[in-house]
Amino acid sequence: MLRRSEADVLVAYLPVGSDKAQKYYAAAALEPASAFVNAIPVFIASNPEWAQRFTDAAFRSSVTT
């Protein structure tokens, strides 16, 4: 859906306690290399593994565009 809509940004604003769903949407933003805005208090960007995944996705995007 993100690729089809050519979304540049995914804003995920889910109810508090939706950790699994928030991580699902974070992962979904990686494939088309969309920016991801985490609008709930789930630690994604501060997690080294997630930070690296987004860094790698941004690098792939800048190389192919």
- Averaged over 38-65, what is the pLDDT? 75
* Span 38-51, pLDDT tens digits: 888 888 878 889 88
Residue 61: pLDDT above 50? no
Q: What is the pLDDT of residues 12-47, one digit of tens each?
A: 899 988 999 999 999 988 887 788 888 888 888 788
Q: What string of DSSP letters covers 9-33?
A: EEEE---TT-HHHHHHHHHHHHTTT
Give the model's pLDDT for residue 21.
93
Model confidence, pTM: 0.74
